[in-house]
Amino acid sequence: MIWNEPMECMSRDQMHDLQSRRLKDMVVRVYHNVEFYRKKMQELGLEPGDINSIDDLVKLPFTTKQDLRDNYPFGLFATPKSEVVRVHASSGTTGKSTVVAYTRKDVDIFSEVVARALCCSGVTKDDIVQVAYGYGLFTGGLGLHYGAEKLGAAVVPISGGNTAKQIMLLQDFGSTVLACTPSYAAHLAEAIVEEGIDAATLPLRVGVFGAEPWSNEMRAKIEEGLKIQAFDIYGLSEIIGPGVSNSCQYQNGLHIAEDHFVPEILDPSTLKPMKEGSTGELVFTTVTKEAMPLLRYRTRDLSSLDYSPCACGRTNVRMAKIFGRSDDMLIIRGVNVFPSQVESVLLEIPEAKPHYMLIVDRQGTMDTLEIQVEVDEKFFSDEIAQLNNIRNKIKHRVESILGVSVIISLVEHKTIKRSEGKAQRVIDKRKI
């Protein structure tokens, strides 16, 4: 089912016109109401009248997370504070968090796009949606909550953590949809086995997972573990929160709500547009948001765009599953390494569990990459030679994918911390 057919299935020409009209209106609003953007545009010699269609997007200035921090907390508001009905903030790992704001209309758009995303995942008003994303300043919990309500589903606002209770409610309430981070879903799948519960007996049928990059192999593993169909929901608080895009049943990318959020793919080093299908940094312009519209926000997420029609009937552009973050990218002896690559390899090796930690260090002038991997109990052997075989197999496979030599350390079952939110996968001990 498609939630909003007129907006999700229009022709590319119609979308071009709609985005153009909305962009022109948005540029006028930010130019007149946000000093930050007015200055930036003036520096580039731009006036609102120079923007006549979505093709002029490339002329506009960028926005970065640092710009949000510099204007903390309310410096980028484009409406009077009295129009704001909600704020969210992202937890900054360093320094100040970034604040985002919503007018009543923005909150409605947020619910609308999440409802579309859920519908895209096959969720209907008959479902019971267990929202195990954190509620609070993070957009995940409330975002899914209002979207599921808009769809007409029953919401179980359990928030993140408390695994025993999550499992109890999956059984007692018979939740049919689970929304959380993929790493937490993997954790729940393990915990369900430990409780001696057969996942096939749970009414749970759909997972809507996001807020961190995850691989297709991870999806297969979660689908197998929880006996569900798993969908990818993408979003970031700066743009609106979850619901910016979502995968459909054909699992060939995530349909972007591009009537609200116009995507571009840029080369992260030159910031020039890349040709369709290339992998680069995903950049969004929020053409309808009122309280805090952003021009060309650099997400740091790496993806690609596909404008070809999808078998599901939606014509909205599809972005490839996030490949990694340009921030997460580790440069090891000059080679770009993404934690997600390591994850995909581990998921293909039955002897290893997809719980891992990358430890980057520097010995002399040489970078070292140690990967701690938990050995699956079933493959533990009393013979050192067998264990070394497992280690060498992992080492060989990882090195062939990453293109750098690595140290594989086999660690005890359950020693790598399980996360209930975003997984911490990298420790970089290099002092640069």
Partner 1 sequence: MIIKQLSVFLQNELGRLEEVTDILYKHGINISALCIAETAEYGVLRMIVSDIEKAAEALKEEDFSVKITNVICMETPDIPGELHKALQVLSAQGINLSYMYGYSNGGTARLILKVSDPEKAIELLK
Binding site for partner 1 (CB under 8 A): 375, 377, 380-385, 387-388, 409-415
The two tokens of residue 205 are: 């049928």
| Using rule CB under 5 A, residue 117 touches Zn ion | no
Could you give the CA distance from residue 167 to residue 231 in angstroms, rounded to a whole number? 20
Q: 252 or 372, CB closer to partner 1? A: 372
Q: 50 or 412, CB closer to partner 1? A: 412
Which option in Zn ion, partner 1, none does residue 164 bind, with CB closer than 5 to 8 A by kind?
A: none
| Using rule CB under 5 A, residue 312 touches Zn ion | yes
Angle value at C-alpha 31, between 28 and 33, nearest 5 degrees: 100
Helix (H) or strand (E) holding 293, with range, is none
Which option in Zn ion, partner 1, none does residue 377 bind, with CB closer than 5 to 8 A by kind?
A: partner 1
Which option in Zn ion, partner 1, none does residue 310 bind, with CB closer than 5 to 8 A by kind?
A: Zn ion
Which option in partner 1, Zn ion, none does residue 383 bind, with CB closer than 5 to 8 A by kind?
A: partner 1
Question: Nearest approach, Cβ of 352 to partner 1 (angstroms)?
Answer: 13
Binding span for Zn ion by CB under 5 A among 121-129, 150-158, 249-257, 417-425: 249-257
Question: Nearest approach, Cβ of 130 to partner 1 (angstroms)?
Answer: 27
Answer for which of 248, 265, 292, 332 binds Zn ion (CB under 5 A) is: 248
Q: Output the DSSP codes for 136-181.
A: SSSHHHHHHHHHHHHHTPEEE---S--HHHHHHHHHHT---EEEE-
Number of H helices, E strands in the chain: 11, 21
Which option in partner 1, Zn ion, none does residue 162 bind, with CB closer than 5 to 8 A by kind?
A: none
Q: 232 or 351, CB closer to partner 1? A: 351
DSSP 55: G
Inter-residue contact 192 to 226 (CB < 8 Å): yes
| Using rule CB under 5 A, residue 310 touches Zn ion | yes
Question: Nearest approach, Cβ of 415 to partner 1 (angstroms)?
Answer: 7
Which option in partner 1, Zn ion, none does residue 415 bind, with CB closer than 5 to 8 A by kind?
A: partner 1
Question: Nearest approach, Cβ of 393 to partner 1 (angstroms)?
Answer: 16
Could you give the CA distance from residue 151 to residue 18 in angstroms, rounded to a whole number? 25
Q: 91 or 388, CB closer to partner 1? A: 388
Pairing of strands 98-103, 84-90: antiparallel
Nearest Cα to Cα of residue 237 among 286, 307, 182, 165: 286
Encode 200-223: b = buried (16+ Cβ within 10 Å), e = exposed.
eebebbbbbbbbbbbbebbbebbe
| Using rule CB under 5 A, residue 317 touches Zn ion | no
Which option in Zn ion, partner 1, none does residue 375 bind, with CB closer than 5 to 8 A by kind?
A: partner 1
Q: 222 or 416, CB closer to partner 1? A: 416
Helix (H) or strand (E) holding 338, with range, is none
Q: 33 or 372, CB closer to partner 1? A: 372
- Residue 285 has φ and ψ, to the nearest 5°, of -120, 125
Could you give the CA distance from residue 268 to residue 298 in angstroms, rounded to a whole number? 9
Which residue type is seen at 26?
M
Which residue type is seen at 356?
Y
Where on the chain is the footprint of Zn ion (CB under 5 A)?
Answer: 248, 250, 310, 312, 314
